[in-house]
Amino acid sequence: MPCLCTGYPEPEPDLHNGALAEMLCATMQYHEKRGEMGCFTAEQLSWWEEHKRRDKKRVQEDMRRAKTAAAKKEALSKLTPYERELLGLKE
């Protein structure tokens, strides 16, 4: 319901991030593991599929970043202090 004090409605909650999304995700995971997805509406199931797609994309991006960071750390470990100084890198 819109807030009557300011005349502006409350912002719509982000259903893919934050505490509410975590609770919804945990609930859907629980029911999916038990095979109890028939009790949800088409809209809820659509949200769940979108949420799982976003989670998968986020995990892949996190893995890509970790791999890049590890490769960078390995490459930097091969440099001598003099080479690091030449490149303007701090220890």
pLDDT band at 91 (very low <50, low <70, confident <90, very high): low
Residue 64: the pLDDT is 97
Look at the block and give the residue holding tokens 């259903």. Answer: 15
pLDDT for 72: 93
Domain borders along the chain are: 19-31+41-87
Q: What is the pTM of this model?
A: 0.65
Between the CA of residue 65 and those of 60, 62, 72, 77, what are the distances in Å? 9, 5, 10, 18
For the stretch 13-49, pLDDT in tens is 778 788 888 999 999 999 999 999 999 999 999 999 9
Q: Are 48 and 40 in contact (CB under 8 A)?
A: yes
